[in-house]
Amino acid sequence: MKKFQYRLEPVLNYQTQILDNLKVEHEVIVQRVNRKQSEIAGLNRELAGFEQDFNQAKQEGAPIEDFRLFDMCIGRMEELIRQEEERLLLLKQKENEKKKEVITAKVDTSRYEKIKDKKKGEYLKAEAKAEELYIEEFVSNSAMAVRRRRQDEGR
């Protein structure tokens, strides 16, 4: 019997390629999200340092110019953190959208894989049945040949 061939193999390969590309794109976005979170954490640590220095300056009694400088630095850091958190939110939205695309592609790919598995199962059943028929025919023909030979020997 001929080798199993899945007619939709090119479609399955294409769907698999799309899925792999989407997974890579999703991973890139996840890495961007992680970097942005690390960046925000660093900004928060820097802000905490400014606030700690400001509190220390208040306790030690620094000049008003230093207070204004600390206030400006703290305000600017809070603004930077807010901007970066907005960017993080946008990145997370992109990541969720890409995740949905990956899920959709996975469903499509698995659909073709299930069809392939079903077709291969049908092929294997048909092949087993054909082999069984061949064996039965072989045994039947062998038995018939043995009977003929015995009949020929008996004459």
The confidence score (pLDDT) of residue 140 equals 81
Contacts of 85 (CB under 8 A, 6+ apart): 40
The confidence score (pLDDT) of residue 46 equals 94
User: What is the length of the chain?
Assistant: 155
Give the chain's residues under pLDDT 70: 1, 154-155
How confident is the model over 30-64, as pLDDT tens digits?
999 999 999 999 999 999 998 998 888 888 888 88
Helix, strand or coil for residue 105? Answer: helix
One-letter identity of residue 32: R
Helix, strand or coil for residue 30? Answer: helix
Q: What is the pTM of this model?
A: 0.71
Q: Considering only CA atoms, which of 126, 118, 124 is closest in space to residue 7?
A: 118
CA angle 103, 93, 106 (to 5 degrees): 5
Distance of alpha carbon 120 from the chain centroid: 25
Taking the C-alpha atoms of residue 40 and residue 83, their distance in angstroms, rounded to an integer, is: 10
Taking the C-alpha atoms of residue 24 and residue 104, their distance in angstroms, rounded to an integer, is: 15
Alpha helices in 5-154 (DSSP H): 9-60, 64-154
DSSP state of 24: H
